[in-house]
Amino acid sequence: MANQEKVEQAVYQLLEALGENPEREGLLDTPKRVAKMYAEMFSGLNEDPKDQFTAVFSEVHDEVVLVKDIPFYSMCEHHMMPFYGKAYIAYIPDGKVVGLSKLARTVEVYARRPQIQERLTVQIADALERALSPKGIMVMLEAEHTCMTMRGVKKPGSKTITTVTRGAFKEDKELQKMFLSMVGK
């Protein structure tokens, strides 16, 4: 659990270091608000993603299961600026399926940590692999990074796509094409 008071002090000191007056009316509660925001943004640090896989069921199904357009918001660990987008998760069951909301919750847990998109993509695939041992997995994240749009190269609208393929999805290019077709890419 984050130390609320330390975060508030750090924000107060940051405002001072930037040449602002943290005691002026508009900034009086800013350290508290920012500390509360960070507690929410980084709540995934206090959660174990395996706890999301509580609804696993035995089921004979050997075709693709896909959940698409899962919105996520995360914080880039390099600049502490947000990146956000959509996750697409597919798997081919091997005797076990999971409640579909659990996939979205897994994305949420990992996204609510200081992150990079590449790691986030792998962590989601790893969690699914540990929980279900499916015949195949494909995870794709598409995100816009404010560290690229608001600063640096300043290219709003630029999207970054990362993928992870495992098992049947790694071996079968037609399966990858089917996934991309299903998600509209």
Count of helix runs (H) and strand runs (E) in the chain: 7, 7
Alpha-carbon span 113 to 119, nearest angstrom: 11
Q: Which helix (H) or strand (E) element contains residue 168? A: helix 168-171
- Please give the positions annotated as active site: 76-79, 117, 145, 147
> How would you label 154-183 residue by residue, b for 16+ Cβ within 10 Å and e otherwise?
eeeeeeeebbbbbbbbeeeeebbebbeeeb
Name residues whose C-beta falls within 8 Å of residue 8's C-beta, 6 or more positions apart in sequence.
31, 32, 34, 35
- What is the largest distance, in Å, between two alpha-carbon atoms of the chain? 63
Return the structure tokens found at 54.
């509580």
DSSP of 82-95: EEEEEEEEEEE-SS
